[in-house]
Structures are given as structure tokens and as C-alpha cells.
Structure 1
Amino acid sequence: MKKLSSVLIFIFVTAGIVICLSSSIFKNSVVKASSAQAAQGFVVMELFTSQGCSNCPPADELLGKYAAQNNPNIIPLSFHVDYWNRLGWKDSFSNAGFSQRQRLYASSIANSSVYTPQLIINGNEEMVG
């Protein structure tokens, strides 16, 4: 049941991202909620993290602060990777699909690699989360 729940969460998050990426809202980088918001655009923040990463809690906390703002111009997402699980303690939120997503970003963003915490901004820039 827990595995099915994780798979369903992954499917819904992935479907939402695909919808955003294919929509004209994303293509124009504009939120149409109001003219002021439309002028500001929006940012998708994807944090690749893990419960097994000792440097991740501050990044998780910072992303949580962005989420708590309920700012329609900021879309914070958190993806728990599974490659830390090999150390013996399994991250209950980890998913191999999230690790694959991170690897795809690393292959498409110049000078990028895979690490945690890693923040991907609007799918084309990366930095230490």
C-alpha cells in the first residue's frame, strides 16, 4: 500500500509538471491571475533532497518557507532521490523516478552534476539548494 501511494504521488506530481510545461502559461513564463502577477512571471523551484543527506535539512526548510508564503508566482517542489538509500537507511519519500529526473537535468544543463541538496530553477539553472 505504501509503495502504491508513493507511485500515485509520483504520477500526480509528474502529470502536473507535464501539464505546466506544455501549457502556454509556462511557455510565456507568465501567471495570468492578475496583471501585476503577469508582469512578474513565475519560478518553478525543484529541490532534489534526501533524508539521508546531512546538508539537506536547511534546504528543505528554506523551500518550506517559500511554500508557506502561498505566492502564486513561486511553485516549490521537493523530490527525494533514492541514491542515498544504499547507505543502509531508506528515505521513506525516495523514488527512483525522482533520481532519474535529476539525472536528466544534469545531462541537459551545462556543467551540471547530481548531488543533494540541488535546486533546479525553471528547468534550466541549477545551484546548491
Structure 2
Amino acid sequence: MARGRHAVEQEEIVYRPRDGDKPERLTTGPNAPQDARARRKLAEVVQPAARWLLGLARSFWRAKKREREAERDLAEARRAATLVAEQQQAAGLVVPRSVAEMVVSRIWWKFSNGVLRAWRFRPDQAAWSRARGSMG
């Protein structure tokens, strides 16, 4: 079980969701051994704990999926904030930096899918460091 957990953590084996008529399963990941013999040995070692490892790998897969979605949403919020800032600058409007940071923070709060709520951030506190980073 310990070897299997390590293999999941190191992405030697990864979760594949159901695809058409194929059920969800474990498969070799990007860090799997290149040697066919080593791959077979890994499969033999993890086979007794395959059901438990499937659940663990599924959890890792879901967490990575949520992380990718959050990163995509943050990039979208940054693009929107940049567009607003460019339009305001083109119109000759001067917006105080604190207001611009608050706008980005609230956009990030909206797109965080509850992650910030879980960390007990309030909308006015959300991602100040990210806002500062996106504003230059």
C-alpha cells in the first residue's frame, strides 16, 4: 500500500475517469518507469491495494482539476481587470490603485469557486497579493 501511495503521489500511476464504455481505472502516468519490466513489477506490487489506490488517485485528480480551473479563472479575472484598466486609461480616467486592487480582489473572489471561503477570506481581503501582482 505504501508503494502504491508513493506511486500515486509521484504520478507513476494516475486516475483515468470513465470514458465511454471504459470504466474508471488506474493507468501509467508521466513519471512511470520506462522499462516494461519495471512497469509490470509496479502493477504487481500495487494490485492488492488497487481499489484503495483508485480512490486516492481520484482525489488527486479532482484536486488538480480544481486547481487548473482556479488558475484559469484567475487568468480570466486578470485579463478582465487589465482590459478595464486599459479602457479607463484610454478614457483619461484615473483610478486609485487601491480601488483597482479591490476590483481585482472581488473578481478573484467571484471566480475562486469557494476556495477563498474555505480559507476564511472575506471578499475585501481576497487575493490582495495576487491583485498587486496582476496590477504590476
Q: Would you call these one fold, judging by a TM-score over 0.5?
A: no
Which one has a larger percent strand, Structure 1 or Structure 2?
1
Q: TM-score, normalised by structure 2?
A: 0.29
Q: What TM-score, normalized by structure 1, do the two folds share? A: 0.30
Q: Which has the higher helix share?
A: 2
Q: Indicate the structure whose relative CO is greater, using CA pairs within 8 Å and at least 6 residues apart.
A: 1
